Every structure is written in structure tokens, then in C-alpha cells.
Chains A and B, each alone.
Chain A
Amino acid sequence: MAVVLTISETVTGSNVSDSLAGGSVGLDFGQVTNGQFAPLISQAANTGHQDIFIRHDAVVDPITDVKFYISQFSGTYGGANSAAADFTTLSNYGAADAGANANNADGLSRGLHIDMDWQVSTANQFSYSREATGQKRIFGKDYTGKDGLSLANAFDMHVDAASYWNGSSEVDATTPVTGQIGKSSDTVLGNRGHIRARTYLHTAAVDGGILQFDVVASYAYTA
């Protein structure tokens, strides 16, 4: 049976449905100021992020090979330039990211960052040291050939993104596997992926306006 994902902002929510410029719906990260990140609560405290939950309706087996990549915006474009130009801009931001601080204190971070550890502490979230473990990824940045810009070069969902919603609280999956999300009752693999995302802008950025792009989730399921 066809397996459909639900990608939500809350642990049991419906598909993301923010109204976007141009008329489409999706996920609005909000406005980001030069030298900061969004969503932002406190730059000094490294707080503020966008939660993204991924779950599915498979009834036979877990889904496997869950990966993420960005592509050109496929909705009705309402940004400041064009969908193609925005994809190039975001890709280039990731490739040029030279930041060293999770909170962009040095003003050199840019692009779309994800932290695939649903339990990461506030102090450590989006830390650059987490790139070595595969927990943090920046779309457009090269990680030994994987840059998150295409299906072929998509980023694997890290095991630390796997969580289990037991009906009242979110707990850790007991033995998660990279890129796998279990069925609704699966406490071992977990029944959702939970990642955090931020958009960063470097201090020297000159382009203003709305940037639009797609984040695509790919996966495999039992036929």
C-alpha cells in the first residue's frame, strides 16, 4: 500500500500549512536578520529553532532510507527573485558557510541548517562540532560528496532524530537505525523523525527579500 508521510511542526500535528508569499502553503521560517538566525528567541542563549516531525502511515514495515535534500521551490513563487535563483542562493550560502558558532556570533554562518538530534541541549544545538557525527548538516555544504542538493546527494536522517510518541509524551527510540522510521507502535525504531532547523544569514549578506525553496524527504517502503 502506498505510504504517505506527514510532516508537521508539532509532534502530532497536521502537515505544515503556513501561508507563504505567492499563495502556496508550507513552512515559514520567519525573517532572519544579518548575522543572526531564524527562528530566533535569544542569540546569546542560542535559543530558537523550527521543529520538524516526520511520521508515516505504513502498516507492514518501517520506512527506510529516509533522507533530506533541498530543491527549487515547486509552489507558486512569491519571493524576491525567482525559484531557480533562490535555490542557487541557498545552495551557495551552504557551500560558503564559514561559521564556527552555533549562534552565529561570528556572523559567518549562512543557509539552511538542520540538527538531527531531537534531544540536543540548548547549548549544543546546531554546534559545528556536530557535523562530524552527522547530526548537523548544512544544505549546500559538502560532506564527502553529499551536499543535500539532490536526491542522489541527500542527507541521511541521523539515528538521534528517531523518537517515539507514546500518546502522551515523546521518548527516545530504544534502538534506532539511520534513515528508518518505524510503524506507529514501534518503540524500537521510533514512530517519527524529529529534526530541528534554522536559517542563518551572514553579516555581510546583501540580498534582501523572501527566499523560497523546497525541502524534500525521500524514503523507501515495502511493496
Chain B
Amino acid sequence: MEKLATDAGNRWLFRWIFHYADHKPAKVGGWHPAARLEDMATVQSRDALALVMIEGKHFTSKEQRYFAEATGEDFINIQHLAIHFQSAGLVRTHVYGMRIIHRHGIISCFENGEVLRDDRHYTQLNIIMPESTRF
């Protein structure tokens, strides 16, 4: 696993964005896991899907920026990363990141700003740096 960027000390929320090649409006997920099936990434159209992106929003400053992108071709799925624990008698689920599953690899974005790529193909899974500098 290759570490691509770290923005330690921060906390980010993530959402997914689907961009289409045929000028259809982009589909955008919420900052928290969808409450309805029809709002989930997995049920959105894959026809002419050009680009899948993960966008982050800083928990306190509300700054928004893109963290990762992958080609729509060979895109498999988006996943939330979560932990389950009990604290003070309450069962809690904490979502700590989001990742793109792609035929050519996996790129994961973590709440601390860290991005990891299970690297198999550079040109189809990209980390997007703050100034849009790309690897």
C-alpha cells in the first residue's frame, strides 16, 4: 500500500461524485451515509460514467476539496470505511473514510486527510492534491 498524501491533525468528511460523458448532470452523494437506497452510489447509473471522485469537507473549517478520482471505465464500487464500538453503554458506528474500488486498484481516503492507494495502475486512479497537482 502506497501512502500518497497526509494532512495530519485534520478531520474530513467525504462524499462521492459521478461525472458522466454524455452531459448528464453529475450525481453527488451526501456527506454522511445515505439514508435511502436510491441515494446510494451503488444504484446510480453506470452508463457513460466518465469519472468517479471523492470530495472532502473539513469538519471545522468547512473547506472543500477533491481527494481522489478514478476512471468510470472499470469502476466497481464506492465503500464507506467504518468501525464498531461500544462506549458508555451506547453502540456506535464511526465512519472514518471512503474508498473507490476499481478494477485497477483501490484508493482510500481517511478522515485525517491521509490517502492510500493499493497501487496497480497510476493513470486510472489519482490522488488530487490541494493545488490539483496530480501524480
- Chain A: residues with CB nearer than 8 A to chain B? 1-5, 7, 15-16, 23-26, 59-61, 64-65, 74-76, 151, 214, 216-223
Contact = CB atoms under 8 A, between A and B. Distances in A.
Given A7-B86, A151-B96, A220-B80, 13 more contacts: A1-B35, A1-B36, A2-B33, A5-B84, A16-B86, A74-B86, A75-B87, A75-B89, A219-B82, A220-B79, A221-B79, A223-B79, A223-B80
Nearest to A6: B91
19 contacts: A1-B34, A1-B36, A2-B32, A2-B80, A4-B91, A60-B37, A60-B40, A60-B43, A64-B79, A74-B88, A216-B84, A217-B84, A219-B84, A220-B82, A221-B79, A223-B33, A223-B41, A223-B79, A223-B98
Nearest to A66: B84
Of the four ranges (under 10, 10 to 19, 20 to 34, 35 or more), the interface on chain B belongs to 20 to 34
A223 B86 contact: no
Interface string B9-29: 000000010000000000001
Nearest to A1: B34
Nearest to A154: B83
A24 B84 contact: no
Contacts of A7: 84, 86
B48 interface: no
B82 A221 contact: yes
B35 A222 contact: no
Contacts of B33: 1-3, 223
Nearest to B83: A218
B83 A221 contact: no
B78 interface: yes
Contact of B42 (A26, A60, A151): A60
Contacts of A64: 79
A26 B77 CA distance: 34
A61 B40 CA distance: 12
B135 interface: no
A222 B37 contact: no
Given A222-B42, A222-B79, A223-B98, A26 B86 contact: yes
A220 B82 CA distance: 6
Contact of A4 (B29, B35, B93, B96): B93
A63 to B, nearest CB: 9
A15 B93 contact: no
A223 B78 contact: yes
Interface in B35-89: 35-37, 40-43, 77-89
Contacts of A61: 42, 77
Contacts of B95: 2
A216 B85 CA distance: 6
B101 to A, nearest CB: 9
